[in-house]
Amino acid sequence: MYVSRAGQLNDKTPSFTFELNRRKLREVRGREGRYLLRTNLTGTDPSTLWESYLQLVAIEEAFKTLKHDLALRPIFHQLEHRIEAHIFIAFLAYCLHVTLGRRLQGLAPGLTVRSVLEKFSAVQMIDVHVPTTDGRELLLSRYTQPEAELKLLLERLKLALPAQPPPKISPAQAAAV
């Protein structure tokens, strides 16, 4: 069965036609990509309102970054200097996050900070404890070697992992026999 121009089903002629409602289409396209901001500030310039809105979006993104990407959660401190230290560390982490984002814009466009952090999370620091025959312990702090994709990213960002640290020898913590 086929639908004719008049919208009637027709078994005989296979045809399909349609018409655009041009007025409706212009109306819809006229609203694409536009924001509607409602406010009770009647004496304020619209461009100032838009700038304030963009600042609000940036602040909300910063909090989202702190909570999700940097995994900062509330920690309840008792002492004022510990509270200040916690805020300072969170601020430094956010500064590094923003710096990485700016660096990505010029050197690796298309990558997000979140995706880069996920790639870097594959590198792990491990401690290898090797007991010696004279009762001491050899401690090798090592990081896992990055995969080819991460090596390329490090190269693109002009970063290098530090050299593997030298081994440390310490007395064994074993109890007396």
DSSP state of 151: H
Same domain (yes/no): 53, 112: yes
Q: Per DSSP, what are the bridge partners of residue 170?
A: 137
Sheet holding 136-143, edge to edge: 125-131, 136-143, 168-171
Same domain (yes/no): 112, 139: no
pLDDT (mean) for 133-137: 87
Does 114 fall in a domain? yes
Same domain (yes/no): 112, 155: no
Residue 69, amino acid: D
Same domain (yes/no): 54, 114: yes
Q: Per DSSP, what are the bridge partners of residue 128?
A: 140
Q: How confident is the model at residue 8 (pLDDT cuts 50, 70, 90)?
A: low
Which burial class, exposed, middle or buried, applies to 170 when counting CB atoms under 10 A from its CB (0-12, 13-18, 19+)?
exposed
pLDDT (mean) for 151-171: 85
Residue 7 pLDDT exceeds 80 = no
Does 165 fall in a domain? yes
Taken in order 131, 132, 136, 137, is the CA torsion positive or negative?
negative
pLDDT value at residue 66: 75
Q: How confident is the model at residue 13 (pLDDT cuts 50, 70, 90)?
A: low
pLDDT value at residue 176: 39
Q: If DSSP codes are grouped into helix, strand and coil, which group holds residue 174?
A: coil
Kindly report the three-state secondary structure assignment for every residue of 40-81.
Answer: CCCCCCHHHHHHHHHHHHHHHHHHHHHHHHCCCCCCCCCCHH
Q: pLDDT digits over 16-66, tens only?
A: 777 888 999 888 888 787 777 788 888 878 888 888 888 888 888 887 877
Same domain (yes/no): 103, 165: no
pLDDT (mean) for 73-99: 85
Q: How confident is the model at residue 1 (pLDDT cuts 50, 70, 90)?
A: very low
pLDDT (mean) for 154-174: 79
Q: pLDDT digits over 90-129, tens only?
A: 888 888 888 988 888 888 888 888 888 888 888 898 888 8
Same domain (yes/no): 114, 142: no
Last residue of a domain, one of 99, 119, 139: 119
Neighbouring C-beta atoms of residue 173, cutoff 10 Å = 6
Same domain (yes/no): 138, 90: no
Instruction: Tell the residue number behind the tokens 């212009």, with chain if given.
Output: 26
Does 15 fall in a domain? no
Structural domain harbouring 139: 130-171
How many CA atoms does the CB half-sphere of 83 hold within 13 Å? 5
The total number of structural domains in the chain stands at 2
Q: How confident is the model at residue 2 (pLDDT cuts 50, 70, 90)?
A: very low
